[in-house]
């Protein structure tokens, strides 16, 4: 018993040194409890600890209430962060700050205001501002986008007209290219690809032929490879490689197409991003109030111009302007409204009266359609052939009438 008492006394002294003199009495009373009451002593100690914990929680609760009371005195009540916004949050935010005027339904976007919206009124109408609430049209960037496209088309137009330039080392006959383009139109129509794919394929083929000599027996391989690359660039659901090989009827294998693709892209320096003429035609359709009939006829003129040798080295925006100009003439648009200031602005400053060779190229395209020198059966069949009231027939009839009248119509070509 003596040793037990000494041990307890030594332990008590150690606890006093560790805890401090202010808790010395509490520790001593706990250590000097009777030995025979072990169980009750343990229960009493547990109860004492429970009461101490309860008092600490009360103290902490009081301090938390004081903190909440202090926070409640602020101007705004704190809320948990939400991943999704509800109507109340939107209403509160709209009341707190002014929203952008370019806000669609349930969409809030940050935009860069276009300086043209703040400019004084010009003779042309800023039609992009009508779509300022449609974020998919990005009207605040449209001017910058088309300024870049006008710059890019200069860089991606064929270097020269290798058909009309007889002295060119890469010269081929006009009829050979017409067969290639018409075959591309037929294959493109069977594959049901976008119009942009066909125009890009023709551009890639012409750019390659302008700077590289190709043997006659490899021209079909070149054409199908150009369509293969264009589909990769424009399409979402691509035709399979074996379909391209099959459509050539044995003239090219799958390995031939893959090898030609690598060689062609290397020669073009992988510069495939050509501004498609349909981009400019759609922008001109905005100035034409999106007239469906004029746009359909303009597509025919545009596709015929792409197949024609005359426009091989012309820019895409220039060819699109000619197509829209003639389509509006076919639609019997009045002379005063045929090409107003809106068309001048959205075509990239093309004026039929002052732009060099514009009306001469219009006459050349009309004569080519009225009295074709090249056979393009796939193109004519695509737009309805010789059936009345089809796009091709309407355009051909008007072109024939213009040629017979020696271009003495009100448009004064």
- For residue 399, give the CATH number of its domain: 1.10.472.10
Residue 342 included in any domain: yes
Give, in order, the Cα–Cα distances in Å from 315 to each of 168, 278, 292.
20, 12, 24
Please check whether residue 136 lies inside any domain of the structure: no
In a domain, 96, yes or no: no
| Alpha carbon distance 399, 382 (integer Å) | 18
Give pLDDT, residue 95.
45
Same domain, residue pair 282 and 259:
no
Structure tokens at 386: 């010789």
**What is d(CA 280, CA 199) in angstroms, rounded to the nearest whole number?**
13
From CA 247, how far away is CA 227, in angstroms rounded? 12
- Asked if 238 and 319 sit in the same domain, the reply is no
Domain membership flag for residue 131: no
**C-alpha dihedral, 25 to 30 to 32 to 35, nearest 10°:** 170
Whether 409 is covered by a domain: the verdict is no
Using alpha carbons, list the distances in angstroms from residue 70 to 59, 64, 67: 17, 10, 5
pTM over 0.85: no
For residue 160 the two structure tokens come to 């020269």
Q: Is residue 6 part of a domain?
A: yes
Q: What integer pLDDT is reported at residue 384 of this predicted model?
A: 87
- One domain, residues 309 and 263: no
What pLDDT is stored for residue 1 in this prediction? 46
| Domain stops at, among 235, 267, 299 | 267
The reply to whether 200 and 285 lie within a common domain is no
Closest CA to 94 of 79, 82, 106, 78: 106
pLDDT digits (tens, 9 = 90+) for 90-141: 444 444 444 334 344 444 344 444 444 444 444 878 888 888 888 888 888 8
The Cα–Cα gap between 297 and 392 comes to 8
Q: Residue 411's pLDDT is what?
A: 60
Q: CB within 8 A of 279, min separation 6: which ones?
A: 146, 149, 316
Structural contact between residues 311 and 203, judged by C-beta atoms closer than 8 angstroms: no
Verify that 170 and 281 share a domain, yes or no.
no
Considering the domain boundaries, does residue 321 fall inside one? yes
- Of the candidates 301, 374, 375, the residue with the CA atom closest to the CA atom of residue 331: 301
Phi, psi of 278 (to 5 degrees): -70, -25
In this prediction, residue 109 carries a pLDDT of 40
* Residue finishing a domain among 267, 299, 326: 267
Q: Which of 267, 302, 321 is the C-terminal boundary of a domain? A: 267
Q: What is the pLDDT at residue 185?
A: 97
Helical ranges in 73-173 per DSSP H = 87-96, 115-118, 142-155
283 plus 382 within the same structural domain: yes
255 plus 365 within the same structural domain? no
| Spans of the chain below 50 pLDDT | 1-40, 42-44, 46, 63, 66-122
- Give the separation between CA 16 and CA 284, rounded to whole angstroms: 94
- pLDDT score of 337: 77
What does the pLDDT read at residue 128?
81
Q: Domain range spanning residue 6?
A: 1-34
Helices (H), 192-331: 195-211, 219-234, 241-247, 254-267, 277-287, 292-307, 316-330
In the chain, how many domains are there?
A: 3
- Shared domain for 227 and 311, answered yes or no, is no
- How many angstroms separate the CA atoms of 281 and 347, rounded? 9
Residue 153: both structure tokens together? 């088309």
| 245/314 same-domain check | no
Question: Given the structure tokens 């101007």, which residue do they identify?
Answer: 75
Asked if 196 and 311 sit in the same domain, the reply is no
Q: In this predicted model, what pLDDT tens digit does every residue of 392-412 receive, in sequence order? A: 999 999 999 999 888 766 566
Instruction: Give the orientation angle of helix 292-307 with respect to helix 277-287, to 10 degrees.
Output: 150
User: Is residue 41 situated within a structural domain?
Assistant: no
Same domain, 303 and 375: yes
Is the same domain home to 336 and 299?
Answer: yes
Distance from C-alpha of 88 to C-alpha of 213, rounded to nearest angstrom: 68
């Amino acid at each position: 018993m003596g040793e037990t008492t000494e041990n307890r006394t030594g332990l008590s002294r150690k606890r006093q040194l560790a805890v401090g003199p202010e808790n010395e009495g509490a520790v001593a009373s706990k250590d000097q409890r009777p030995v025979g009451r072990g169980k009750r002593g343990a229960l009493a100690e547990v109860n004492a600890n429970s009461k101490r914990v309860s008092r600490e929680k009360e103290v902490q609760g009081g301090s938390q209430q004081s903190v909440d009371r202090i926070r409640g005195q602020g101007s705004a009540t704190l809320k948990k962060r939400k991943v999704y916004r509800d109507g109340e949050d939107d209403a509160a935010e709209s009341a707190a700050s002014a929203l952008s005027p370019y806000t669609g339904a349930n969409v809030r976007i940050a935009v860069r205001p276009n300086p043209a919206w703040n400019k004084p009124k010009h003779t042309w109408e800023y039609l992009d501002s009508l779509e300022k609430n449609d974020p998919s049209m990005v009207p605040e960037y449209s001017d910058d986008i088309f300024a870049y496209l006008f710059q890019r088309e200069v860089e991606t137009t064929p270097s020269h007209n290798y058909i009309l330039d007889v002295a060119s080392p890469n010269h081929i006959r006009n009829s050979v290219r017409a067969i290639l383009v018409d075959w591309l139109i037929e294959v493109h129509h069977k594959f049901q690809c976008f119009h942009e794919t066909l125009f890009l394929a023709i551009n890639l083929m012409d750019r390659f032929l302008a700077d590289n000599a190709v043997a006659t027996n490899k021209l079909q391989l070149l054409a199908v490879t150009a369509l293969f690359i264009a589909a990769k660039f424009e399409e979402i659901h691509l035709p399979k490689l074996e379909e391209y090989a099959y459509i050539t009827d044995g003239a090219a294998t799958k390995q031939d197409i893959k090898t030609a693709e690598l060689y062609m892209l290397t020669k073009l320096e992988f510069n495939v991003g050509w501004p498609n003429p349909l981009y400019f035609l759609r922008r001109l359709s905005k100035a034409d109030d999106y007239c469906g009939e004029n746009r359909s006829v303009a597509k025919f003129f545009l596709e015929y111009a792409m197949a024609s040798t005359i426009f091989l080295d012309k820019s895409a925006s220039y060819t699109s302007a000619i197509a829209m100009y003639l389509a509006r003439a076919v639609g019997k648009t009045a002379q005063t409204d045929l090409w107003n200031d809106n068309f001048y602005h959205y075509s990239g400053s093309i004026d039929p009266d002052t732009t060099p060779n514009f009306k001469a190229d219009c006459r050349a395209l009309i004569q080519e359609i009225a009295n074709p020198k090249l056979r393009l059966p796939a193109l004519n069949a695509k737009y309805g052939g010789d059936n009345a009231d089809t796009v091709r027939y309407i355009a051909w009839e008007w072109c024939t009438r213009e040629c017979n009248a020696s271009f003495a119509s009100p448009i004064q070509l």
